[in-house]
Homo-oligomer: A and B are copies of this chain.
Amino acid sequence: MTDINKVIESLDWQREPYGLYEPIAYTLASGGKRIRPTLALTAAEVIVNGGLINGSAIDDVLPAALALEVFHNFTLLHDDVMDRAEVRRGRPTVHVKWNDNTAILSGDQMLIEAYKLLAQIPGDKVQRTLMMFNEMATGICEGQQLDMEFEHMSHVGIDDYMRMIEKKTSVLLAYAMKIGGYIAGATPAQQEALYEYGLHIGLAFQIQDDILDVYGDPKTFGKAIGGDICCNKKTFLLLTAMENADPESKAELLQWMMQDVQNDEAQGSKEKIEGVTTIYDRLGVRAIGETVIEEHTSIALSQLDKLPQNDATMRLRELAEKLVTRKS
């Protein structure tokens, strides 16, 4: 199996002007789960049956896998500017460590670097892959736009929320699978199964993310716990709570939401996080979220039955199951 971290480390960012490329190196070196390139490579391995892909086919997919990871990190970089997030993976975000302009411009260059990597796959696959990649990238921008619009909307339903996270998170995992499979020679039906697998683990993944933001361990989660609560972010938990709340709990929730706090160590933010979490606990929204996660995990797993069965398929099965119980 390709060690994707080693490949990412081997990318050379020692280029002038350093001010443009250093923030890219910083962002890519900050770790993360590397789920997207892993999915692309594993999808390719599923297709090149037997669980063992020959060297040349991995070489074919690798640039696209890297492009997906670079693209993902670009979205984090720009999202952090837009969300004014100060910490990412336990480190200051680029706009905090440098400034907004650096985050904007190095982010732009990072997006271009993703397309540079994409141009390195075999020539006869470039056009179709480029089209899929563009669809994916469009979905993500549309998802981020919806996410930002939700902030100013008084009512957002769970359905709206699911459509938003499908674009903002799932489409990237779905296309990671599909692109990896396509370059490795998957049939249209196989590409579809790979896509659906990615889509549904993506949905599960995002809801788990919302849960971890409240119930995660600050040591492993990398971000401050309760950030979503502090800024009234319309997460799966909050929207489910609003839909399921008795009038009293709803009033209590709305009252907490009117309290404007920063996510710092101040008493106000602590109280708000504790207060909202208590309501979540009372309404059992975590359990509701976990049920939805299991549903999507199950749909994802069922896609794997349509694909060749080998070591790589097994790893996708394990990955889907691990996502449900992840801590960070």
Q: For the complex formed, measure the closest distance between the CB of A85 and the CB atoms of chain B, giving whole angstroms.
A: 13
Q: A17-B146, A141-B108, A145-B19 are in contact. Are A130 and B134 (CB under 8 A)?
A: no
Bound-state CA distance A144–B101 (Å) is 10
Question: Is A115's CB under 8 angstroms from B141's CB?
Answer: no
Question: What chain B residues lie within 8 Å of A145 (beta carbons)?
Answer: 17, 19-20, 105
Question: Is A20's CB under 8 angstroms from B82's CB?
Answer: no
Question: What chain B residues lie within 8 Å of A146 (beta carbons)?
Answer: 17
Bound-state CA distance A134–B321 (Å) is 39
Question: What chain B residues lie within 8 Å of A104 (beta carbons)?
Answer: 78, 81-82, 104
In chain A, positions 17-42 with a C-beta closer than 8 Å to chain B are 17, 19-20
Question: What chain B residues lie within 8 Å of A17 (beta carbons)?
Answer: 142, 145-146, 149
Bound-state CA distance A130–B20 (Å) is 21
A interface residues (Cβ-Cβ under 8 A, vs B)? 16-17, 19-20, 78, 81-82, 100-101, 104-105, 107-109, 111-112, 115-116, 118-119, 123-124, 126-127, 130-131, 133-134, 137-138, 141-142, 144-146, 148-149
